[in-house]
Every structure is written in C-alpha cells, then in structure tokens.
Amino acid sequence: MIYGHGDDAHSQTHPIRDDFSSNTRPDGPPSELIDHLRARLTAIARYPEPAADTVRRQLAAAHHVSAAQVLVTAGATAAIYLVAQTHRARASLILTPTFSEYEDACRLHDHALAFAPRSAFLAAPAAFLAPAPANAATPDLLWLCNPNTPPGEAAPRDALLALIDAHPRTRFVIDQSYADFCPLTPIQPADTTARENLILIRSLTKTLGIPGLRIGHVFASASNIAALARHLQPWAVNTLALEAAAYYLAHRARLAPPLESWLAHARALSRAVADLEGYTPLPTATPFFLIELARGTSSALKQHLVEKHGILIRNAANFRGLTSRHIRVSPQSPWQNHRLAQALQTYLGTPASFRQTARGIAKPPE
C-alpha cells in the first residue's frame, strides 16, 4: 500500500502539529542514537556490508540462535516481499484486518489468496486449517501479524506454537514488528530452530522510531534463511541503517522503548475517548488502538482534524475487514493526547462530560 497509510503528513495541505497516524516509537529516535549516527555520517562514503554480517551476528548472539538463522533486510516490508517471492505461486491465507502488505506482496508473486477474520480464527484456529470439503487443501502459508495492526491485539505464544506444531504442512509467517510494543511474551527466535514451518519477521524501524532508515530482520531455520537469501540483493541495507542497528544491539537495555509509560498514556487516552459520545475505543494489547465512530466517516474526521487542529490520524477504512467508521491512533505525549480528545469532542458536538486531567490526560503546558 504505497498510498493511504499513516505518516502521510507530506501529502497534507495544512501543517501537522500532532501526528497520531504512525505506530512507531512515540518519543522518536533516542537522542544518543542520533548523536552516534551524526558521528558516523562519513561511513556513507563506503559500501555497506553485502550481507550485513556484523548485524546478523549481533542479532544471533542477542537472541541465542546461529547466524545462519538470521537475515537482515531493508525493513520488515522488504522481508514480507522476500518471503512472498521465495514461495511464489503458493496458496496463502491472510487473517484480517491486518497490515495490507501481505496481500500486496502475495498478489505481486501470484499467490492464490484466501482471507479469514482474525477474531474467528483465534477463537477456533483448527477450523481454518482443517480441509473442508475433504479434497480441499490447507494453505501453504498463513500470514499472521502478532501483535496485530491496526487493532493491536495479540495471540499468546503457547497457543500459537501448539497450532504451528499441529500443522507442519503450513508455513506460518508471523510478523512481530510490534513485539517490543506489547507486554506479552512473543514467539522467540530460538523457537524457529526445530520448526521448518515457522518464519518470524521483526522490525527495528518501529522499535527505534526510524522509519526513514529501513531496517528489519528475519528469524527462521537455517534452510529457510538460505532459501530467502537466494533472492536477496547484495548491499540491500544501507550503511546508516546498519550503524543504527549495530549501536542499538550493543546498548539494548538503555535504548529500549518506554513501553510502560506509553501503555499508561494509551490507557488514559482510551478512557477519555470512551467518555465521549459517538466514539468507541476497541481493546488492544499495544499502545495503538482502533476507534469506531457512531456516525460520520473516518475520512471526513481525518480531514477535519488536519484542517482545524493540525492533528493527523490513520484513516483505517482501507484495511480489509474494517469500515469507513474506523480510525487508528497511536498515542503521543499526555498533552498531545489531551488535544486529540478535545478535538474529537468538538467534531461530533459531544458534551464535555469527561475530565481529561483527572483521568490521566495532562493539559497542555501553558
């Protein structure tokens, strides 16, 4: 999806003050990472490592797997397209609503596509993988974002591993780009060692708040990684992206996202939105979450917020399985969240029946 995604301030005709549209790290890149990249800027005069071997080894050591189980890519999206290319013309099942790039990548590489509601799948996963009628085939690949975007819910690790082990003929492609934004324990890279039907995709773009530097990676068995690597272009990841990844992996504890405070801000914003007539925030396991409008459309609301308040949200109407009354927000600072709650209140003309400060939404500084 080249157009219609979040973080599209560049296409707006009004200046954006508060951006809730992109579910990357809310406080932006750590300042010490920026300082490090500034100091290493002259490294762009040299080619990057052809296969990003230094970062591969760092990732392997950090996650207790062999370097042969790691592949570094130019963002998680590049990994998604690489998996679809490697398994070209297979049958893929995509659980929706979810990130649209799974569908786009599969269509580009001639997959036979099927879709299932994620909620129904998680309630009875075996029903979607059991052939019905008897001559029907199970999918070759099942694409699952966990934690999921845009809703933000997450399936537990043990349940997913049990499902993966029960269906060895289906390859599970699990996008864990938001694993660092969720308190639940995700499937671990070491879980891929003995599972030929498991591929994990992760993103440092989200974790570090650097969407302009594309850096992601894949964990899988050595044979799966070798198959993917045959389609990977040399020098696929630029020098500054590799510098950012290497620095983060050397200082992970210090540069980790502020998850607890971000979740607290999200819960406060969700409560404030729930107090407004006409808006229903949906459950989530991550800071970002969906809001359903009782009336009006998400596109009209987005336009209003941009033009009247300089606030940017994610119009979620173009996610398969959602409607023209869904938006996604990724909470920011308490005072920015306060401004969003006030702007939502004025849009539908709802009474000021909520108290943002008392419910954890700080007023903007004077």
Per-residue pLDDT tens over the stretch 202-255:
999 999 999 999 999 999 999 999 999 999 999 999 999 999 999 999 999 999
Is it the case that residue 355 has pLDDT exceeding 50?
A: no
pLDDT at 329: 97
Strands 18-19 and 70-73 come out as unpaired
28-86: pLDDT as tens digits: 899 999 999 999 999 999 999 999 999 999 999 999 999 999 999 999 999 999 999 99
Tell whether 57 and 155 lie within a shared domain: yes
Residue type present at position 55: V
Most confident by average pLDDT, 7-16, 113-122, 128-137, 199-208: 199-208
Residue 244, classified by CB atoms within 10 Å of its CB into exposed (0-12), middle (13-18) or buried (19+), is: buried
Tell whether 113 and 156 lie within a shared domain: yes
DSSP conformation class of 362: P
Residue 124, classified by CB atoms within 10 Å of its CB into exposed (0-12), middle (13-18) or buried (19+), is: exposed
pLDDT at 354: 43
Tell whether 195 and 179 lie within a shared domain: yes
- Give the number of other Cβ atoms within 10 Å of residue 231's Cβ: 12
- Give the number of other Cβ atoms within 10 Å of residue 112's Cβ: 13
Could you tell me the pTM of the whole model? 0.91
| Single residue among 255, 270, 304 that ends a domain in this structure | 255
Please choose, from the candidates 91, 96, 132, the residue with its C-alpha nearest in 3D space to the C-alpha of residue 115.
Answer: 96
DSSP SS3 for 127: helix
Tell whether 72 and 182 lie within a shared domain: yes
Tell whether 241 and 331 lie within a shared domain: no
pLDDT at 26: 84
Tell whether 109 and 241 lie within a shared domain: yes
Is residue 360 situated within a structural domain? no
Quote the tokens at residue 111.
């997959």
Is residue 140 situated within a structural domain? yes
Is residue 311 situated within a structural domain? yes
Tell whether 291 and 249 lie within a shared domain: no
pLDDT at 11: 62
**The domain that contains 270 carries what CATH number?**
3.90.1150.10
202-211: pLDDT as tens digits: 999 999 999 9
How far apart are the two ends of the chain, measured CA to CA in Å?
A: 40
Is it the case that residue 328 has pLDDT exceeding 50?
A: yes
Is residue 365 situated within a structural domain? no
Is it the case that residue 146 has pLDDT exceeding 50?
A: yes
Please choose, from the candidates 166, 119, 124, 116, the residue with its C-alpha nearest in 3D space to the C-alpha of residue 142.
Answer: 116
Tell whether 19 and 126 lie within a shared domain: no
DSSP string covering 180-240: GG-SSPPPPGGGGTT-TTEEEEEEHHHHHT-TTS--EEEEE-HHHHHHHHTTPPTT-S-HH
pLDDT at 358: 37
Give the Å distances, CA to CA, from 124 to 98, 115, 118, 187, 320. 18, 15, 10, 20, 20
- Give the number of other Cβ atoms within 10 Å of residue 177's Cβ: 26
Is it the case that residue 357 has pLDDT exceeding 50?
A: no
**The domain that contains 186 carries what CATH number?**
3.40.640.10
Q: For residues 294 and 292, what is the distance between their CA atoms, to the nearest angstrom?
A: 7
Q: In what order do the strands lie in the sheet with 326-329?
A: 279-281, 289-293, 326-329, 314-315
Is residue 57 situated within a structural domain? yes
18-35: pLDDT as tens digits: 999 988 888 889 999 999
- Give the number of other Cβ atoms within 10 Å of residue 106's Cβ: 26
Tell whether 293 and 210 lie within a shared domain: no
Please choose, from the candidates 12, 18, 2, 40, the residue with its C-alpha nearest in 3D space to the C-alpha of residue 238.
Answer: 40
Is residue 25 within 8 A of residue 207, CB to CB? The reply is yes
Tell whether 302 and 247 lie within a shared domain: no
Tell whether 217 and 86 lie within a shared domain: yes
Is it the case that residue 362 has pLDDT exceeding 70?
A: no
Work out how many domains the chain is built from and give that number: 2
Sequence-ordered alpha helix ranges (H) in 52-113? 53-63, 76-86, 101-108
| Single residue among 233, 255, 277 that ends a domain in this structure | 255
| Single residue among 202, 223, 255 that ends a domain in this structure | 255
What's the mean pLDDT in 279-300? 96
Residue found under tokens 């998850």: 259
Is residue 192 within 8 A of residue 65, CB to CB? The reply is yes
Please choose, from the candidates 268, 276, 270, 310, the residue with its C-alpha nearest in 3D space to the C-alpha of residue 293.
Answer: 276
Is residue 251 situated within a structural domain? yes
Q: For residues 138 and 163, what is the distance between their CA atoms, to the nearest angstrom?
A: 13
Is residue 102 within 8 A of residue 94, CB to CB? The reply is yes
pLDDT at 8: 62
pLDDT at 134: 52
Is residue 357 situated within a structural domain? no
What's the mean pLDDT in 348-361? 51
pLDDT band of residue 124 (cuts 50, 70, 90) is: confident
pLDDT at 341: 96
Is it the case that residue 315 has pLDDT exceeding 60?
A: yes
Among the listed ranges 2-11, 189-198, 248-257, which one has the minimum average pLDDT value?
Answer: 2-11
Tell whether 90 and 107 lie within a shared domain: yes
Is it the case that residue 352 has pLDDT exceeding 50?
A: no
Is residue 361 situated within a structural domain? no
Quote the tokens at residue 266.
């999200």
Is it the case that residue 365 has pLDDT exceeding 80?
A: no
- Higher pLDDT, residue 33 or 1: 33
Domain that holds residue 276: 9-27+258-347
